[in-house]
């Protein structure tokens, strides 16, 4: 078919154009256009809700992980405090058993176990327990303060005489107080 300007149109193209125009008119007018806006708004709302849910769950998981880490640190500090006290008690027992306490440790083995007193064995056991508890603590200040207590306890247990052991007593008291103060400060902070 020819048009006045000389171009030809196909009947099927004209009908497709009319249908497309009719569909567009329906979608853009009245209920169709509002329906499209409503659907788009609902989809956007759904996307925002989903993103918010994901973010909230990640924050909650992060908070749970932080709380778990704080609980583990608190538990490690409690264990270290108890182990430190046992080590000091065992050191005092070694001194009470008479100095010089003769024992030699090579690696993890006590040399001449037959001649080593139960007090010394208890001291060495408490020392290992304290080392293990200290390794579980993350706070470096607490570790350092606790190591100082253990070092002084070690010097006392290996002292050549009661008088030499007594000279370390003020240092041990000061180091022990410093370690306990640090432990309690960190415990208060982790509770908050």
pLDDT in 10s for each residue of the chain, 192 residues = 455 555 555 555 555 555 656 555 555 555 556 667 777 888 888 888 888 888 888 887 777 888 888 889 999 999 999 999 999 999 999 888 886 677 766 665 555 555 567 888 888 889 999 999 999 999 999 999 999 999 999 999 888 888 988 999 999 999 999 999 999 998 888 776
pLDDT number for residue 181: 94
User: Which CATH number fits the domain 72-191, given the four candidates 2.10.260, 1.20.120, 1.20.1300, 3.90.550?
Assistant: 1.20.120
Nearest partner of 28 among 16, 17, 18, 36, judged by Cα: 36
The confidence score (pLDDT) of residue 133 equals 95
> What pLDDT was estimated at residue 113?
55
Given this model, what pLDDT does residue 167 score? 93
Q: How far apart are CA 177 and CA 147, in angstroms?
A: 13
Residue 179: predicted pLDDT: 95
Tell me which residue of 144, 167, 161, 138 sits closest to 84, measured CA to CA.
144
pTM: 0.64
Give the pLDDT of residue 56.
Answer: 84
């Amino acid at each position: 078919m020819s048009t006045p300007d000389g171009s030809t149109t196909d009947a099927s193209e004209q009908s497709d154009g009319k249908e497309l125009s009719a569909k567009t008119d329906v979608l853009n007018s009245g209920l169709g256009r509002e329906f499209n806006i409503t659907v788009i708004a609902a989809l956007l709302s759904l996307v925002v809700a989903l993103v918010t849910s994901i973010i909230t769950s990640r924050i909650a998981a992060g908070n749970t992980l932080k709380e778990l880490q704080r609980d583990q640190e608190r538990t490690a500090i409690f264990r270290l405090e108890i182990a430190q006290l046992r080590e000091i008690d065992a050191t005092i027992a070694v001194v009470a058993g008479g100095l010089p306490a003769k024992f030699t440790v090579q690696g993890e083995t006590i040399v001449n176990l037959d001649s080593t007193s139960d007090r010394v064995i208890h001291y060495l056991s408490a020392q290992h327990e304290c080392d293990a508890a200290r390794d579980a603590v993350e706070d470096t200040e607490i570790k350092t303060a606790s190591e100082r207590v253990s070092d002084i306890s070690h010097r006392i247990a290996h002292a050549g005489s009661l008088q030499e052991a007594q000279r370390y007593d003020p240092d041990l008291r000061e180091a022990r107080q410093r370690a306990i103060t640090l432990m309690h400060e960190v415990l208060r902070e982790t509770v908050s």
